Amino acid sequence: MTREINHFINGTHVTGTSGRSGDVFNPNTGEVQAKVALATADEVRSAIAAAEKAFPDWRATNPQRRARVMFEFKHLVEKNMDQLAEMLSNEHGKVIADSKGDIQRGLEVIEFACGIPHLMKGEYTEGAGPGIDVYSMRQPLGVVAGITPFNFPAMIPMWMFGVAIACGNTFVCKPSEKDPSVPMRLAELFMEAGGPAGVLNVVNGDKEAVDTILTDPTIQAVSFVGSSAIAEYIYATGTAHGKRVQAMGGAKNHAIILPDADLDRVVDDLIGSAYGSAGERCMALPVAVPVGKEIGDELVTRLKPRVESLVVGVSTDPDANYGPLVTKEHMAKVKGFVDQGVAEGADLVVDGRDFSLQGYENGNFMGGCLFDNVTADMESYKEEIFGPVLQLVRADNYEDAVALPSKHQYGNGVAIYTQDGDAAREFASNVNVGMVGVNVPIPVPLAYHTFGGWKRSAYGGVNQHGPEGVRFYTKIKTVTSRWPTGVRSGSDFVIPTMK
């Protein structure tokens, strides 16, 4: 019997009533393993209403007690790590070790959120004027929402609701319908940790659910991660309805490789960052830019056997480098980009399109692909492939290399490989990209910093987690107070100044 996945509203599982559902596949076998209910607008509104009802008491809960709930939630997620990782791998296709990494990176934001008593502190100025004190306070917004992608079904929900809830908001999460089980389980664990009913709700759905979130007047802020086209829509629609919006879009991250780079490290890092998780990461490194013919030739020579020897296996295989892609439709899209690259004249050095895993011929498996001599005018270079494909775009000099990521439509992450500190410093300062790695392949900032790209990789101007996450999910109230001193000077019709 096919398992049913419904909604988690006001602390309990709620059966969907729309009559509509989506298939949740096992990417290893291609078989339908569950049906996920797709919410009606009224069902989404019921989750919003539950969050609205829970908000006054949760807001009034002091920050230290909210932090204690987050501490216990962290403990429970760690305790259930194996179960969560298996659940994640069975729906997404990541190998178990990668799924545990997904969960751990989310937990690091939960750890950050445990410091919310300090992070919520305002400012105070005594004696700002005669008998006047000025102070500010951070207050939660109210009901907020997150719309999360398939590629990180644990990490990104925790990035969003961890900070939002710790700040005193209540939350409605709309996860990807491709792999919805982990967010549902996280909501259960939050309740087990002592979170009150209605503080964290999960509704599964499609565009109807998304549009309800974007237009409902109770929702004060929306966080989104997904493709750039949808991010642009989320930002435009949400802000048009008076909401704060942070919408993270696509990426095309480049690795600039200077002639003095340690090529052994470069090859190791490219293999892991381009092909890990089957390339389904917004911080993957799908483009390598060797500077100069000699280093470009050497890089291809070293990469080719490594790509050919990649171990592709089921998500539970501990020896597999990566597992299947999330769905057949997505696999077909990735292969279509490879077809396009060939048609555009790029050299396909390693072709993984025909890979088949014995015993799992119906799974969504694809071998690694390696392109050389890709050029900036090719459509397959301009777009995000989001699969196990690495493209080499050769550059004659440093200036041409830096121009590639700087001019690209996406500006999420970039890396430079060099042993020259001056070059690295100049690059980090001037490249037109939001997150930079120096001899680091996946420059995802730690939880107490902040995550976000530039250009079509992000809309809204406010990054995720870290101090910017606290600012996004709170509003500042400033109080100017004066207590009677027995001295009065009558009415003043001039604006107050410090003179």
**b/e 420-433 (16+ beta carbons within 10 angstroms → b):** eeebbeebeeebeb
Q: Which long-range contacts does 97-105 make (Cβ < 8 Å, 24+ apart)?
A: 97/318, 98/276, 98/277, 98/322, 99/154, 99/315, 102/152, 102/153, 102/154, 102/155, 103/77, 103/154, 103/155, 105/152, 105/155, 105/444
Catalytic one among 167, 173, 282, 369? 282
User: What gap in Å lies between CA 408 and CA 453, rounded to an integer?
Assistant: 12
Q: Rounded to a whole number, what is the distance in angstroms from the first to the last CA of the chain?
A: 77
Residue 428 tokens read as 């980090």
Burial label for 248, CB within 10 Å (0-12, 13-18, 19+), is buried
Q: Does residue 282 carry a catalytic annotation?
A: yes
The answer to whether 135 and 121 have CB atoms below 8 angstroms apart is no
The answer to whether 69 and 159 have CB atoms below 8 angstroms apart is no
C-alpha dist (Å) from residue 281 to 138, 151, 250, 321, 449? 34, 7, 10, 15, 20
Rg of the chain taking only CA atoms, in angstroms: 25
User: What gap in Å lies between CA 479 and CA 278, rounded to an integer?
Assistant: 52
User: What gap in Å lies between CA 412 and CA 322, rounded to an integer?
Assistant: 23
State the catalytic residues: 282
